[in-house]
Amino acid sequence: MKRFNLEPARDALFLDIDGTLIDIAPTPEEVVIPEGLVRHLHRLHDRLGGALALISGRRLADIDPMLDANDLPAAGAHGAEFRLKGGEKPQPPAPLPETLTRDIVRSFAGHPGVTVEDKSCAVAVHYRRTPAMEQTVKERIREITEGLAEPFKILHGKMVVEITRPGDNKGGALERFMQHPPFAGRRPVFLGDDETDLAAIDACLRLGGAAARVGGYEGTPAALSSPEHVRKWLLAQLA
């Protein structure tokens, strides 16, 4: 986000995690948290008067220990989980039908390079270890979800396909945060990196804010080249 600095009394900052704050790993469990990142996030949260929130496809149960984020506002599982204040215990979202999750797990059981992540309220199929499986993964998920009585949404991220309920998306989570203090009345600023973040980018711009897609995205004010660039930008906001 070239030549852009946060104004602590005016801005509200929303951050995706994987591919934005931290580098993507072969599996979600293999990510490495850079030294100083957790400390910098908490300092920036304080500087913004509490108007900093994490918006991720990960579950809150994964986000909190990874980033010591229990006391930060956060939305997990693409907005299915929502915590306005640190320490809150949000109402658990309704799980996906057990048969749907079971069919997906069974469908990819014979492919060791494919990882199925059951989030209860969503299920993600990662194929980063076997990129050649991309088309197969997409086709099988389409086949499994076609004709189901309940509609589901298919999200395409970086080497991952995820099944969620239609109402769960990061844009809705950002809009929900903006309805409550300390976010209400501020200008939203959002950083994300892949297609699952586009709803939040669109919502942010629609609300008169600023947004950037890490790696670049036509239509956003500026681009950050990598998570490392994002971390340097965050640190600069504390100077």
Residue 149 domain-assigned (yes or no): yes
Cα gap 84→32, rounded to integer Å: 26
Is 219 a residue whose pLDDT tops 80?
Answer: no
In the chain, alpha helices (H): 37-47, 60-67, 98-107, 134-145, 170-177, 198-206, 227-236
Amino acid at 8: P
Domain of 40: which CATH number? 3.40.50.1000
Do 43 and 68 belong together in one domain?
A: yes
Residue 24 domain-assigned (yes or no): yes
Residue 2 domain-assigned (yes or no): no
Cα gap 58→63, rounded to integer Å: 7
Average pLDDT over residues 139-156: 90
Cα gap 168→81, rounded to integer Å: 9
Cα gap 71→109, rounded to integer Å: 37
User: DSSP character for 131?
Assistant: G
Do 74 and 175 belong together in one domain?
A: yes
Domain of 152: which CATH number? 3.30.70
**72 neighbors 41 (Cβ within 8 angstroms):** yes
Structural domain that includes position 42:
11-92+168-236
The pLDDT tens digits of the residues spanning 60-84 come to 999 999 999 999 999 999 999 999 9
User: Using CA of residue 16, residue 173, residue 82, residue 44, what is the dihedral sign?
Assistant: positive
Do 128 and 147 belong together in one domain?
A: yes
Is 179 a residue whose pLDDT tops 70?
Answer: yes
Residue 4 domain-assigned (yes or no): no
Residue 187 domain-assigned (yes or no): yes
Residue 5 domain-assigned (yes or no): no
Q: Which of 164, 190, 211 corresponds to the end of one domain?
A: 164
HSE-up of 114 (CA within 13 Å, CB side)?
25
* Structural domains in the chain (count): 2
Do 87 and 15 belong together in one domain?
A: yes
Cα 35 to its chain centre, rounded Å, is 21
The pLDDT tens digits of the residues spanning 84-137 come to 998 888 888 989 999 999 999 999 998 989 999 999 999 999 999 999 999 999
The pLDDT tens digits of the residues spanning 1-53 come to 456 789 999 999 999 999 999 999 888 889 999 999 999 999 999 999 999 99
Mark whether 16 is an active-site residue.
yes
| Per-residue confidence band for 220, with pLDDT thresholds at 50, 70 and 90 | very low
- Per residue, the 3-state secondary structure of 49-116, as one string, reads CCCEEEECCCCHHHHHHHHCCCCCCEEEHHHCEEECCCCCCCCCCCCCCHHHHHHHHHHCCCCCCCEE
Out of 16, 194, 197, 202, the active site residue is 16
Do 183 and 159 belong together in one domain?
A: no
- How far apart are the two ends of the chain, measured CA to CA in Å? 16
**Which pTM does this prediction carry?**
0.91
**55 neighbors 79 (Cβ within 8 angstroms):** yes
